[in-house]
Structure 1
Amino acid sequence: MSSETPQFPLILEPGILAAHLDDSDLMIVDVPLKPDSYREGHVPGAVFLDHRRLLAGGGDVPNDVPSEEALSQLFSELGLTPETHVVAYDDEGGGWAGRLLWTLELIGHRRYSYLNGGIHAWRADGHPTTTAPSEPTPSDYQAEILNPQVQIRREELLEKVGSRELAIWDARSAAEYQGTKGDNRKLGHIPGAVNFDWLDVMDKDRDLRLRDYAELVSELEARGLTADKEIVTHCQSHHRSGLTWLAAKALGYENVRAYPGSWKEWGNRDDTPVEK
């Protein structure tokens, strides 16, 4: 086993990770939707992250980005250092893992990968799991929003709605997009947004890995989500769009941003236009 982590790709297959579990600069983070998933068996050496800590947790937009202080505390507890390569995964096909990696991108930490398919693909490929929790070695990590461009705030999005250079990827279900379902004051979608459900990004026949890249690009381009545009993705809380942000990056889209306020913010204000 090597002591230094090689240059891992953004999307990491289970077999590659399995050969590097002992690498000293590697931090594997399990950020499941269901906490029981970690207790029932996780990648050896993986630390548990409660996905709620990736959200502000209070205020008008509880799904917004946590404060720099809260992020500093979180990543210090996890033991993050500038040299650490983070491999994130979850139990649901990439939503919370994507939100974690997006948060790392936001604070300028670009050494990260997604374990393709998460725990489902890991188990399906026959790799070992353990139920023994891993305790991280704390660090003193000072998180700052060094890359604010990876997010878009409501004010900027309001200014850009209708621009030909902008394409909005709504990762919610068709019913939420059409305004027939939801628990917000206003139902529907941001004007001009196109709908591509996050579930359609996953390959159900390959243990929730990302679908074939060529197929995904073809389906996105058919909706006007093309690489020459500024892509903004969102859902209800920037959880499902954690995966769609990640997928767009994996597909080579260079100008992809996420709207952390998502519909939780947009659908509950008086000053935001809505289409059905």
Structure 2
Amino acid sequence: MISPLISATELRDRLGTPDLKVLDASWHLDGTDARAAHRRGHIPGAPFFDLDAVSDQATDLPHMLPPVPQFAADMGRLGLRESDEIVVYDTVGLFSAPRAWWMLRTFGAMRARVLDGGLPAWVAAGGAVEAGEVSPAPATFRAVPDATRVVDLGQVSAALAAGTPVLDARGAPRFRGEAPEPRPGLRGGHMPGAVNLPFSELLTSDGRLRPREELAPRLATAAPDGAGLPIATCGSGVTAAILVLALEVLGRKARLYDGSWAEWGTRPGTPIVAGP
């Protein structure tokens, strides 16, 4: 299977290949306008993947996976086919792009990849940047969802009861309930039995994924082989995808809890633990 990561130099050298498409999937938890930043500068030819718009609009939970027909139509408007090699990036380095990558792969785009280091790495590698809007020619995206890549609240509850690794990508203060959640109405703490693996621990200081030899021991401790197929969770299903990406780089499969803490932390009856 194609590697889930691509370097800035490889992308620079291959940009313009007919079936290689690039997407700006930037999104910011603090509300920074990622679309405006896209208009100011993006990788040439890369349209904007709006994480909030490409989501289920019928739920109160943030950017949940959309219905199959919606995702297919949204990707078609971005000029994508499911058979394309699709490279997603963000302006931070590695933050929201893995979420878009996970969505694409979940809906059958198995050649989707993440630009390691994002736009900063692209610029550092001498890649060009253009301003303005990108309006690609429409295409047909045939979405074929893979239900094995995503889990719901009931499946997470069953996994916790069975001792299956559930990895929480939030920072330690939020995991322990010591720091307030960024969304109103959320209780603090974590799921009983979940393991805290902050996504930042898997990244280098310049926003790239750590080398395999550094990822392997971290993930082996948090999700030992033979303990079951790991589940990644976070605040709203965005940074959990970084954990899924890291596991797939190591040749391991993982599932993502789409509702994440935005769901677990608001639903009545879900058990919560505060502290380590």
Provide TM-score, normalisation by structure 2: 0.89
Listed one character per residue, the Cα deviations across residues 152-195 of structure 1 (whole Å, up to 9, x for unaligned) are 1111111221323x101100111110012224443211111111
Report if the CA contact (8 A) 2:82-2:110 is conserved. Answer: no
Aligned length: 264
Find 2:257's aligned residue among 246, 256, 259.
259
Cα distance change of structure 1 residues 185 and 12 upon mapping to structure 2, 3 Å threshold:
closer
One-letter code aligned to 1:179: G
Report if the CA contact (8 A) 1:94-1:118 is conserved. Answer: yes
Which 10-residue stretch deviates more, 256-265 or 108-117?
A: 108-117
Structure 1 unaligned residues grouped into runs of 5+: 1-6
One-letter code aligned to 1:199: S
One-letter code aligned to 1:39: R
Report the counterpart of residue 22 of structure 1 in structure 2.
16
Report the counterpart of residue 151 of structure 1 in structure 2.
150
Report the counterpart of residue 165 of structure 2 in structure 1.
167
Aligned mates of 1:98, 1:70 — CA distance in 2: 20
Identical columns (%): 28
Provide TM-score, normalisation by structure 1: 0.89
Report if the CA contact (8 A) 2:236-2:258 is conserved. Answer: yes
Which 10-residue stretch deviates more, 17-26 or 41-50?
A: 41-50
Report if the CA contact (8 A) 2:82-2:108 is conserved. Answer: no
Listed one character per residue, the Cα deviations across residues 58-82 of structure 1 (whole Å, up to 9, x for unaligned) are 4232332111222122111012223
Q: CA deviation at 1:92?
A: 2.1
Report if the CA contact (8 A) 2:52-2:62 is conserved. Answer: no
Which 10-residue stretch deviates more, 212-221 or 150-159?
A: 212-221
Q: Please show how residues 168-207 of structure 1 align to structure 2 within 5 Å.
A: 168-180=166-178, 181-182=180-181, 183-204=184-205, 207=206
Report the counterpart of residue 3 of structure 1 in structure 2.
none
Report if the CA contact (8 A) 2:3-2:249 is conserved. Answer: no
Q: CA deviation at 1:133?
A: 3.2
Q: Could you say what the CA RMSD is over the residues aligned between the two structures, in angstroms? A: 1.8
Q: Please show how residues 241-252 of structure 1 align to structure 2 within 5 Å.
A: 241-252=240-251
Report if the CA contact (8 A) 1:21-1:45 is conserved. Answer: no
Structure 2 unaligned residues grouped into runs of 5+: 28-33
Aligned mates of 2:127, 2:143 — CA distance in 1: 33
Report if the CA contact (8 A) 2:40-2:132 is conserved. Answer: no
Secondary structure of 1:243's aligned partner: helix
